[in-house]
């Protein structure tokens, strides 16, 4: 896989079917629905619980705004990922082009996905720092690989953002 900036796009080329599938899973992975810990992480309280009024108003007024913000980002990413639609066979050596103006949406969606997955599996600091664990083994190993792969993509986009 190769990532580079071409004019007003970020180009991810030489994608193999496995990584292409991981990319396609970003929107679904970023959805915290049904997992309380993930919901709690994405929508954390703005102050200590003793600030009851503030926390209550935050839930009422700010949280819906944040939900919309996060959803818009994942929808933008889902639209870009339509380039990868097709059978597994046609996914070999595919190229994904991300418009430059979508870079922030990608950073957000990748971060959402990483946080949701990490919350679901309750990864330890040591696990999160283990970048060489094989994705083959268990669902947990695959999810850890997913977190690290999305982190790698974030780093690449950040480097381009400068």
Q: Which residues contribute to the site for another protein (CB under 8 A)? A: 42-48, 53-54, 57-58, 61-62, 65-66, 69, 107-108, 111-112, 114-115, 118, 125, 128, 147, 151, 154-155, 158-159, 161
Q: Which residue has the tokens 């935050």?
A: 58
Q: Is 111 helix (H, G, I), strand (E, B) or coil?
A: helix
- CB of 4: closest distance to another protein in angstroms? 18
- CB of 8: closest distance to another protein in angstroms? 20
**Nearest CB to another protein, comparing residues 77 and 91:** 77
**Nearest CB to another protein, comparing residues 26 and 91:** 26
Residue 74 burial (CB count, 10 A): 22
- CB of 86: closest distance to another protein in angstroms? 31
- CB of 128: closest distance to another protein in angstroms? 5
- CB of 42: closest distance to another protein in angstroms? 7
**Nearest CB to another protein, comparing residues 16 and 155:** 155
CA distances from 30 to 50, 119, 134, 150 (A): 30, 11, 22, 11
Q: CB of 10 within 8 A of CB of 98?
A: yes
**Nearest CB to another protein, comparing residues 64 and 86:** 64
**Nearest CB to another protein, comparing residues 91 and 118:** 118
């Amino acid at each position: 896989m190769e990532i580079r900036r071409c004019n007003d796009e970020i180009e991810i080329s030489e994608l193999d079917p496995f990584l292409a599938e991981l990319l396609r899973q970003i929107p679904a992975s970023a959805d915290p629905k049904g997992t309380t810990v993930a919901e709690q992480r994405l929508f954390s309280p703005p102050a200590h619980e003793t600030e009851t009024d503030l926390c209550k108003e935050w839930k009422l007024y700010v949280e819906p705004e944040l939900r919309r913000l996060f959803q818009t980002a994942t929808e933008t990413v889902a639209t870009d990922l339509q380039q990868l639609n097709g059978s597994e066979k046609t996914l070999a050596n595919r190229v994904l082009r991300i418009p430059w103006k979508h870079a922030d949406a990608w950073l957000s969606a990748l971060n959402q996905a990483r946080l949701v997955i990490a919350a679901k599996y309750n990864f330890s600091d040591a696990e999160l720092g283990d970048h060489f664990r094989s994705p083959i083994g268990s669902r947990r190993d695959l999810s850890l690989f997913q977190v690290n792969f999305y982190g790698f993509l974030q780093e690449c986009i950040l480097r381009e953002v400068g």
